[in-house]
Amino acid sequence: MEYDPIQLEILMKKLAFTLGNRLQGLTKQQDNIMENRLDSILARHHGQAQSITSDEIEGAYEIAMLHIYIPPLDSVTY
């Protein structure tokens, strides 16, 4: 879905304010999950980023963080 660039800018500012440097270091999969969750949230808000809450942003982040790949212990080398 295409969104108004102004609304996307508002969303990016909310993301930066809410998550800060926690956005750095996301894996490609986590980044894709965040993007998909934020797209769903923005669609639910009819493209109006002002009405998106910090709790919704935190929720999207938590979902993305659940998808961290941890290799099995037997594959870890020292």
pLDDT confidence of residue 77: 61
The sign one gets for the Cα dihedral 68, 60, 38, 20 is negative
Give the other-Cβ count within 10 Å of 59's Cβ: 13
Please give the structure tokens belonging to residue 45: 């808000």
pLDDT confidence of residue 72: 64
pLDDT confidence of residue 36: 96
- The pTM of the full predicted model, rounded to 2 decimals, is 0.81
Intervals of the chain under pLDDT 70 = 69-78
Burial 27-48 (b: 16+ CB within 10 A, else e): eeebeebbeebbeebbeebeee
